[in-house]
Chains A and B, each alone.
Chain A
Amino acid sequence: DIVMTQSPDSLAVSLGERATINCKSSQSVLYSSNNKNYLAWYQQKPGQPPKLLIYWASTRESGVPDRFSGSGSGTDFTLTISGLQAEDVAVYYCQQYYTTPDTFGQGTKLEI
């Protein structure tokens, strides 16, 4: 199985500042035939199911604010939240869908 490791486990960021969450996969999730990274980011607020934010490492899901952005390729990825807002408090997970079983990072708790 591909192991996904996020860092940090938690972080506190001031309102309006930038939050950066990292995700590293134990093997590349870049599919050479289409040059796509099979990496997604989800946001989960307390008592709610996860919500898809980013897929193909950098494509925002419809309706997701543009302060959320994803970058990276191969094995190293980053989720950046610019201009942090109070409603961004949540746990964020990366997911690889390059191969089954789909695997998730352990989560990063973002606080204000």
Chain B
Amino acid sequence: QVQLVQSGAEVKKPGASVKVSCKASGYTFTSYYMHWVRQAPGQGLDWMGIINPSGGFTNYAQKFQGRVTMTWDTSTSTVYMELSSLRSEDTAVYYCARAMLITTHLFDYWGQGTLVTVSS
């Protein structure tokens, strides 16, 4: 069965960077795009960007441009999301979400989420 397993919670200081991983299993890793979506405590969903693990195409939301980098490792079926210059407003649960094949911006499977806390 499809599974997306994310790395554990992180606590970072303002100005630092964080790198969250998302290990996929149960399907052909390179056949599906992957998204990252974040959710601040008690808030709604905020789309961050998309990566194609076959070829490396990425598209980031403008609000994260220059601070976010999405990468992948085919050998381990893992995608990564790195966010730099962290500020307190980046405190959130970060989710990876697999895109459906019928259209690349619908999410059919999600990781369990990774809580990133930014605090001095």
Interface string of B81-97 (1 = CB under 8 A from A): 00000000000000101
B9 within 8 Å of A by Cβ?
no
User: A101 and B61 in contact (CB under 8 A), knowing A49-B95, A49-B112, A93-B44?
Assistant: yes
A102 within 8 Å of B by Cβ?
yes
A105 within 8 Å of B by Cβ?
yes
Main SS class of interface, B: mixed
Q: Give the CA-CA distance A102 to B62 in the complex, in Å.
A: 11
Q: Give the CA-CA distance A49 to B106 in the complex, in Å.
A: 14
Q: For A79, list chain B residues within 8 Å (CB).
A: none
Interface residues of A in 57-112 (CB under 8 A from B): 61, 93, 95, 97, 100-107
Decide: A97 and B44 in contact? CB cutoff 8 A: no
Decide: A52 and B105 in contact? CB cutoff 8 A: no
Q: Give the CA-CA distance A101 to B62 in the complex, in Å.
A: 8
Interface string of B78-120 (1 = CB under 8 A from A): 0000000000000000010100100101111011110000000
Q: Give the CA-CA distance A15 to B110 in the complex, in Å.
A: 29
Q: For A42, list chain B residues within 8 Å (CB).
A: 45, 107
Decide: A107 and B95 in contact? CB cutoff 8 A: no
Decide: A40 and B106 in contact? CB cutoff 8 A: yes
Q: Give the CA-CA distance A103 to B107 in the complex, in Å.
A: 13
Q: For B62, list chain A residues within 8 Å (CB).
A: 101
B59 within 8 Å of A by Cβ?
yes
- Residues of chain B whose beta carbon lies under 8 Å from any beta carbon of chain A: 35, 44-47, 50, 59, 61-63, 95, 97, 100, 103, 105-108, 110-113
Q: A50-B95, A101-B62 are in contact. List 11 more A-B contacts (CB 8 A).
A: A38-B105, A49-B110, A49-B112, A50-B107, A52-B106, A93-B45, A100-B61, A102-B35, A102-B105, A103-B47, A105-B44
- Residues of chain A whose beta carbon lies under 8 Å from any beta carbon of chain B: 38, 40, 42, 49-52, 55, 61, 93, 95, 97, 100-107
